Amino acid sequence: METVNKNKNYHFIAIGGVGQSALAKILAIKGFNVSGSDIVESKYTKALEKLGVKISIGQKKENIKEDQNVVLSTAIKEDNPEFIEAKRLNLPLFHRSDILKLISEQYETFVGFSGTHGKTTTTSLCSYILEKINAHPAYASGGIISGLDTNANAYSDSKIFVAELDESDGTIVKYKPDYIVINNLEPDHFDFYKNGEKDLLNQFHKFFENLKPTSKIFINLDDDGNKHFLNSINAKNLITYSIKDNSADYFASDIELNPNYNSYKLYYKGELKGEIKTGLLGVHNVINSLSVISVLMELGFNLDEIKKPLSEFQGAKRRFETVFSNSDIKIIDDYAHHPTEIKATLSSAKKQAENKRIVAIFQPHRYTRLKALWDEFLNSFDLADILFVVETFSAGDKFDPEFNSEKFSETINHKCVKYIKGNMNETAKEISKYIKKDDFILTIGAGDVTKIGHLLGDIYETSK
């Protein structure tokens, strides 16, 4: 591997993160010496230990050795003791994006999924299908893939590498995928993109300019941000997909959104190719599945061979994931943390819940995002019958006295909204007092709100 020395350890700070652990796993599978540390043990660290990765719980300077290359993410601050020690020893420092870039260069075909929303779902779906048809892919997803129970894998004979390309910190410009999917382009991550769409499009222009002349660009024609992007570039090797514009290369029509599956007719350049069925719910997942189908067909895979795994796929963890269900209630956990995602999640819930009461438990993620998209968030919960707003997950942001969970609950015009203060255990206990038989409950957010669904399930079971 270019610039990578197999005689040195690769030490990952915060190796238990979903992105870090994926890269660590691939390096371990490929025979590199890998170690890492994290604050707590997790399913990710346990899985890595089974591969022979040395895991240290607790981050301290003693974990850093003189023969290591050190890998860190944007989340690692300069006061981290391992980061300080690595700099003191003048060790090679790699951002996780550098490692992802190096890994991607080892494969014949690099497929990247990008955009504001849907990256994890599309990366996971593509990886799942390739696994199930025995194509031996290498892949790195931003979530645990249902049915595979991992976020990453590789084989000795892997030729295709599939990865989620994160735009949140601007590092997307480092990659040069052969096939790049742009799901959508909508303002988010305002700590980096301070001028919203303008800065986001500028970053994608830089990314576009660095692509190979042969790179194929797959783009969703139904997204306004994508349209703005297309109007400002001269794209070759462009492949389009849509559920609205039948001039797109890949077009879905006769869409049926059912409580337990989606179905539609797939057209390629005006020619009917077949009937598609997917277990992913909601119209946004019709678009997501369409993007993956277009990539796989352009890679040369036959539609008939990908239909079965496409219909079986149940999503990535924390993407409309059922965490508790019995004859009385159902609890769904979803990573949605942007107004567009929240509306899509609640729309899917409305279809699946039918006439049941929809209970939404929302945790804002970052004060900067809540402030920048304040009005959009206020208009995102119309489909919820009751809304609980819990403490904002700061993700490193400073507390904002004007834009926070309490102010949000006071401002939103909702028929039934309650602000719950406290840690996740206290919050779950308080919310449990309001839960009724036949409720369809959703925990919504990218922070630790995910704990509430499991806690509510435990409380409900204990009380029976």
Q: What pLDDT, on a 0 to 100 scale, did the predictor assign at position 191? A: 75
Where do the DSSP E strands lie in 165-207?
179-182
Q: Cβ of 410: how many Cβ atoms within 10 Å?
A: 10
As a whole number of angstroms, the distance between CA 225 and CA 216 comes to 19
As a whole number of angstroms, the distance between CA 53 and CA 11 comes to 10
Show the tokens assigned to 244.
Answer: 């609205």
Q: What pLDDT, on a 0 to 100 scale, did the predictor assign at position 25? A: 96
Rounded to two decimals, the pTM is: 0.82
Residue 389's H or E segment, with its range, is strand 386-390
**What domains, with CATH codes, occur in the chain?**
9-94 (3.40.50.720), 107-312 (3.40.1190.10), 321-463 (3.90.190.20)
CA distances from 32 to 6, 47, 188 (A): 6, 16, 36
Where do the DSSP E strands lie in 243-326?
250-257, 262-268, 271-278, 321-325
Q: 339-382, pLDDT tens digit by residue?
A: 988 998 898 888 888 889 999 999 999 899 899 899 999 999 99
**pLDDT surpassing 80 at residue 28:** yes
Q: What pLDDT, on a 0 to 100 scale, did the predictor assign at position 7? A: 53
Q: What pLDDT, on a 0 to 100 scale, did the predictor assign at position 308? A: 95
